[in-house]
Structure 1
Amino acid sequence: MSQQSWLPTLKTNTPEEGYELAVKLARKAVGMIQPDENVRKKLRLDYATNADSLTLASQVVAIHFQTVAAANNYWNDK
Structure 2
Amino acid sequence: MRKFLTMLAVSSAFALPVAAQDAAPPATDAAPGAAAGMAPQAEPWLTSLITETPQAGFDLAVTMARKAVTTTQTDKDTLHKLRPNYAHDPQSLIGVSGVAATWFATIAAANDYWRE
CA radius of gyration, larger in: 2
- Supply the distance in 2 between the matched residues of 1:55 and 1:49 (Cα, whole angstroms): 11
Within 5 A, what are the aligned runs for 1:34-73?
34-73=73-112
Equivalent position of 1:19 in the other structure? 58
3-state DSSP of counterpart to 2:45: coil
Q: 1:44 corresponds to which letter in structure 2?
A: R
Identity of aligned residues (%): 47
- Supply the distance in 2 between the matched residues of 1:40 and 1:25 (Cα, whole angstroms): 17
Count of residue correspondences:
75
Structure 2 residue runs without a partner (length 5+): 1-41
3-state DSSP of counterpart to 1:7: coil
Greater shift after overlay, 17-26 or 34-43? 34-43
CA-atom RMSD in angstroms: 1.0
Higher RCO (CA 8 Å, separation ≥ 6 residues) = 1
Higher helix share: 1
Q: CA deviation at 1:5?
A: 1.8
The ranges of structure 1 where at least 4 consecutive aligned residues each deviate by more than 3 angstroms after the TM superposition are: none
- Supply the distance in 1 between the matched residues of 2:78 and 2:62 (Cα, whole angstroms): 20
Q: 2:68 corresponds to which letter in structure 1?
A: A
